[in-house]
A and B are shown apart, each in its own frame.
Chain A
């Protein structure tokens, strides 16, 4: 589709850009400064309305560089929900009180825009642009607490690792371009059909995987994750652990299924990247879980566990089938609710008790029973115990592996990892409920954060009991 007629299908993104500009401009007008977060939230809501209008559209925009398809559409909802609640909760995060909120909101919106681009990119250039549009503001967001050493460290580490991975990825892109002479994903796929050098192709796949692996924090490109997650302000951590990871998976799936897969669902040119993904998946989840076991800092623990969750999702991608894409999308949906809910709970604990380690959470369940009960559900969901959303997500992932009848060993590694994860997730539950509070300092539940936790816990439980609507929606969203 030509550039001009594409605009009609690009309205959500355009509105996001307008919102970003509005937030920046409003910041300059003294009287209106305090409304910037309302503008940001309203911008997201209206973007959502426009996005809703695009439901079912399947078009190739801007001369084939961007796709407005059901697949991207589904992911955009994940980004919007994550972005909306991050902005909302950030206003009530005590550690962010001194940060420059207008700047912060604008940066977050830019990230959301970049995520939109990542999910819908169908050209090497737009893929790269999308990833960088997400990465650059993320570096600043991680370091937005200017006087906090850990935040600064997080930012710097993020930049260095991000730049390194991007470099590898773009080098891989150049191999692909050199092999096929095309920049568009479909063009590369056609070009690769005639490629006789599997080694060159293998090289390209490895390099590209490095870039995507960094975004989803796959071992061995995960080194930034724990420090960045620990150092960033907690709402940013929650956001980074969900939205860019989802986008990373979106672009990974689109890329691998439309470039490195032939039409008959076999890996291109006999390059067995499926076994590679299976191995990486096993290593990623095992590493994430084993290190998470040793963490005392709750944020750091959740950071390592998010590496493990990436490993679980990679597990499904070791089987080439539409069911694998479906399973990852289901898991990401469940993960959005349970993981962000858990991070909201971390914000609550930090606000109320200045709690950072598991030790600090002791007796929290007794002090705030309602939130304590919600946290149990969230932890149950993250572990993958039924009836919870996390279980349903894992069920679909394991179902793909078992139905593939190829990597049974991977399924066994996966379930053993789930058992390991129980231990550290329930350390939090244990601290909250099995110990008596150290002091009688009252804890105030209520307000926006409590409401957000509730809003994220309800789906984390209900989607574990009845998930047909989500499945139906995802089944309609698998087409690239």
Chain B
């Protein structure tokens, strides 16, 4: 089993989706496509069981992973021989946290979607298909396989936003699709260019690390390495999303159902930075040196721009969406620190970046889940009602107030999530953000100092919205609201535990990721020397 564990991780959800489709025919009494109560229960439990199994396997993988042991649990099979495409899977310290994150958030996503009414079969089978694609991206070590999974994600996401989303769902779905496809087709070209420039031609990302160093060519006076780097970078930047490619994100988040927002912010955004670390960094290290300052600058822009936008929002979900833009900026700043001349600086930066990817995944998932819970209760999520609200008596007024008294448990968890989001010490976000800043400061002083303003800005919108919603005079509009139920607690509590545990004892995570990331730093710095930069 151990040698096929990654395949299992990837295809267990897909098997679940298949089982749903087959089972549907047998269980639905009249054989038609509409859901009866019985089939809905069946689909929900299949989804829970299969994502639960995947989560269990991913934890098993975490426990059995040997830090510093290189790439483990490899699977290597020929796929299309004439094109040297391989089915090549493996896990290392960079992908492991994200694999666990994917499994965890998929499970939580399924549990949090328990109240879905519309086409239960379609919803859960697409969610599981999405799960398969995401897991595939993180496990693949063959560029082609990586690309296939990367693209496979788009289709279920399109439908999940487009069918189960909010009022503007169709526009949001196609905008998401077009943006990300634009990025990935550029990636396709870069992938083919890498394939044809390496000798022997290969898509194997590990083999490319060695052969990629030999790529030398110019096109219309531009270095081909730079062109490849930029094409890949734009592809990944759209996913992160890096300002100015971020405009799809708030829209998609606001329109998507809660579980999809959780997965979108928790997992999909990480793929952008994961791709940069997995592909751009080891394959084109000299370009990393050339672009490091730009990446840091973009990171700082993300931090500030995302936070300023979040401050301006009156829709709680939109605020959280923009906070994601801001938080991904920390990752970029940390990543840029790979070029730092001080070993401590570069290690803090890169390890902090990977840790921030995981931490942001858990924190933002909490935030979106909590927003989803209040939305289910009161069917809106405004901090202030907009000026053109349908009820003119309420327009522009404060929407909530004093909820803390009514919903003590809920407001407690919101406080935890908000504090984690703004980087309060002893919560996980603080550690990774601090590490990113330490890394950044060791080489980009001015930029990092500007970036730290982001912490302040983050505090503004989190604290202010907390004040408006939970503190102050009690609003009478929401009599008889119930506090969180058991199912909702089941989705929030594990994330809360992780947030606190990693905040108090970050070595749990750092020990796993740092051997891989430190060797990546060494690789980038050595290769850059070899290629002749620096």
Are A and B genuine complex partners?
A: yes
A403-B151 contact given A411-B189, A430-B162, A468-B82, CB 8 Å threshold? no
Query: Is B2 in contact with chain A by the CB < 8 A criterion?
Result: no
Tell me if A402 and B189 are in contact (CB < 8 A): yes
**B174 interface neighbour in A376, A391, A423, Cβ under 8 Å:** A423
A467-B80 contact given A385-B155, A386-B147, A430-B170, CB 8 Å threshold? yes
Binds B, one of A255-263, A295-303, A414-422: A414-422
Closest chain-A Cβ to B190's Cβ sits at a distance in Å of 9
Q: Mark B238-251, 1 if CB is under 8 A from A, else 0.
A: 00000000000000
Q: Mark B154-195, 1 if CB is under 8 A from A, else 0.
A: 110011001100000110011001100110011011001101
**A433 interface neighbour in B82, B162, B185, Cβ under 8 Å:** B162
**A434 interface neighbour in B162, B182, B219, Cβ under 8 Å:** B162
Tell me if A426 and B177 are in contact (CB < 8 A): yes
Contacts of A441 in B (CB 8 A): none
Contacts of A376 in B (CB 8 A): 155
The residue among A385, A405, A466, A467 with the most chain B CB atoms within 10 A of its own CB is: A385
Tell me if B162 and A408 are in contact (CB < 8 A): no
Contacts of A369 in B (CB 8 A): 33
Tell me if A419 and B174 are in contact (CB < 8 A): no
Within 8 A of A (CB), among B77-97: 79-83
**B148 interface neighbour in A386, A398, A412, Cβ under 8 Å:** A386
A426-B182 contact given A399-B192, A468-B81, A468-B82, CB 8 Å threshold? no
- What is the CA–CA distance of A430 and B169 in the complex, to the nearest angstrom? 11
Tell me if B193 and A402 are in contact (CB < 8 A): yes
Query: Is B478 in contact with chain A by the CB < 8 A criterion?
Result: no
- What is the CA–CA distance of A434 and B160 in the complex, to the nearest angstrom? 10
Query: Is A471 in contact with chain B by the CB < 8 A criterion?
Result: yes
Query: Is A380 in contact with chain B by the CB < 8 A criterion?
Result: yes
Query: Is A387 in contact with chain B by the CB < 8 A criterion?
Result: yes
The residue among B162, B186, B188 with the most chain A CB atoms within 10 A of its own CB is: B188
Main secondary structure of the interface of B (DSSP, over half): helix
Closest chain-A Cβ to B322's Cβ sits at a distance in Å of 26
A415-B174 contact given A386-B148, A467-B80, CB 8 Å threshold? no
- What is the CA–CA distance of A403 and B192 in the complex, to the nearest angstrom? 8
- What is the CA–CA distance of A433 and B159 in the complex, to the nearest angstrom? 8
Interface residues on B, range: 35 or more
| Chain A residue at minimal CB-CB distance from B147 | A386
Main secondary structure of the interface of A (DSSP, over half): helix
Contacts of A422 in B (CB 8 A): 177-178, 181
Tell me if B170 and A434 are in contact (CB < 8 A): yes
Query: Is B60 in contact with chain A by the CB < 8 A criterion?
Result: no
Query: Is B152 in contact with chain A by the CB < 8 A criterion?
Result: yes
Within 8 A of B (CB), among A377-434: 380, 385-387, 391, 395, 398-399, 402-403, 405, 408, 411-412, 415-416, 418-419, 422-423, 426, 430, 433-434
Tell me if A402 and B80 are in contact (CB < 8 A): no
Closest chain-A Cβ to B17's Cβ sits at a distance in Å of 12
Contacts of A366 in B (CB 8 A): 33
**A468 interface neighbour in B80, B169, B186, B195, Cβ under 8 Å:** B80
| Chain A residue at minimal CB-CB distance from B194 | A402
Tell me if A399 and B196 are in contact (CB < 8 A): yes
A415-B151 contact given A399-B196, A422-B178, CB 8 Å threshold? no
Tell me if A412 and B178 are in contact (CB < 8 A): no
User: Which A residues are within 8 Å of any B CB, using their own CB?
Assistant: 366, 369, 376, 380, 385-387, 391, 395, 398-399, 402-403, 405, 408, 411-412, 415-416, 418-419, 422-423, 426, 430, 433-434, 466-468, 471-472, 475
Can you give 20 contacting A-B residue pairs, CB < 8 Å?
A: A366-B33, A385-B154, A385-B155, A398-B188, A398-B189, A398-B192, A399-B196, A402-B189, A402-B192, A403-B196, A408-B227, A422-B178, A426-B174, A426-B177, A430-B174, A433-B162, A433-B163, A434-B173, A468-B82, A471-B82
